[in-house]
């Protein structure tokens, strides 16, 4: 897997997580004006390994 930093059509920064077969399995979902903020977004995702998984199909709306 690898994180890719790139500029979108508007010139702002984004990231995506690509797996071995070339598929994108996650992306920033938003653009960043500063590269440093985009890199911080990647670090937040990397640090979320201990985040819980919540099955929203069992939750009452």
User: Which pTM does this prediction carry?
Assistant: 0.79
Among 44, 24, 40, 21, which residue's Cα sits nearest to residue 32?
40
The answer on pLDDT for 60 being more than 80 is no
For the chain, give every domain's residue range. 2-45
Q: What is the pLDDT of residues 8-49, one digit of tens each?
A: 999 999 999 999 999 999 999 999 999 999 999 999 999 888
Report how far residue 49's alpha carbon sits from residue 59's, in angstroms, rounded to the nearest whole number: 23
Residue pair 14/32 in contact (Cβ under 8 Å)? The answer is: yes
Report how far residue 4's alpha carbon sits from residue 37's, in angstroms, rounded to the nearest whole number: 14
**pLDDT score for 9:** 95
**pLDDT score for 61:** 58
Is it true that domain 2-45 has CATH number 1.10.357.10?
Answer: no
């Amino acid at each position: 897997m690898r994180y890719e930093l790139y500029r979108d059509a508007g010139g702002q920064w984004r990231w995506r997580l690509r797996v071995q077969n070339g598929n994108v399995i996650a992306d920033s979902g938003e653009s960043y004006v500063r590269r440093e903020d985009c890199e911080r977004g990647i670090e937040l995702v990397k640090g979320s390994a201990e985040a819980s998984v919540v099955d929203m199909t069992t939750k009452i709306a």
